[in-house]
Amino acid sequence: MRPLLNRKYIALIVLHILCISLYAWSLALPAFLFDGYPANLDGAQVLLMGWLGILVLDPRWLANVIFAICLLTNCNFAGQRILPLVELSLVIASFVLPVHYFPQDHGIPVQHFGPAVYLWALALIPVFLVSLYMKVPGNTLRDTANKNAST
């Protein structure tokens, strides 16, 4: 008789819980730091106003949406092939391209990133790498889950 949950699946669940915890923690920390005006923004404020970036053709906020999609598909052992690559490029773009904050009619460049941005990236990247790994032919994690489901 085979166990319902093997060690690899438990490790996957623990990794995802850790990533979700880091993501939630990043919402409470300072994300965008300014020298003087305006006041610094924490991660929750950046998340709430980030969807406005789509209106100005800045898709970096979609990293959060793809994070949720990859979490769900990883737990079903489906994985993704294209979305994690898009997502990794969006996370990297967050550090390479300038970020502006629009408190009124003009944009103010973000002076520095706070710890929330780095914690956010640290939470997202492992989920995307696992999602890519799920699509690798001969993936033992997916094959083990399929064997357990068929017996």
The per-residue pLDDT for range 105-128, each reduced to its tens digit, is 667 788 889 999 999 999 999 988
Higher-confidence position of 28 and 99: 28
**CB neighbourhood size of 58 (10 A):** 17
User: Does residue 73 surpass a pLDDT of 50?
Assistant: yes
Span 43-52, average pLDDT: 84
pLDDT at 1: 42
pLDDT at 28: 94
Higher-confidence position of 90 and 56: 90
Distances (CA, A) of 117 to 19, 26, 40, 63, 114: 14, 7, 13, 12, 6
User: Does residue 82 surpass a pLDDT of 80?
Assistant: yes
Span 32-55, average pLDDT: 82
> Predicted confidence band at 10 (pLDDT cuts at 50, 70, 90)?
confident
Is residue 104 exposed (0-12), middle (13-18) or buried (19+ Cβ within 10 Å)?
exposed
pTM for this predicted structure:
0.80
pLDDT at 12: 85
pLDDT at 117: 92
pLDDT at 123: 94
Q: How far apart are alpha carbons 75 and 9 in whole angstroms?
A: 9
At 67, which amino acid appears? F
Question: How much is the mean pLDDT over the chain?
Answer: 81
3-state class (DSSP) for residue 100: strand
User: Does residue 21 surpass a pLDDT of 60?
Assistant: yes
pLDDT at 105: 63
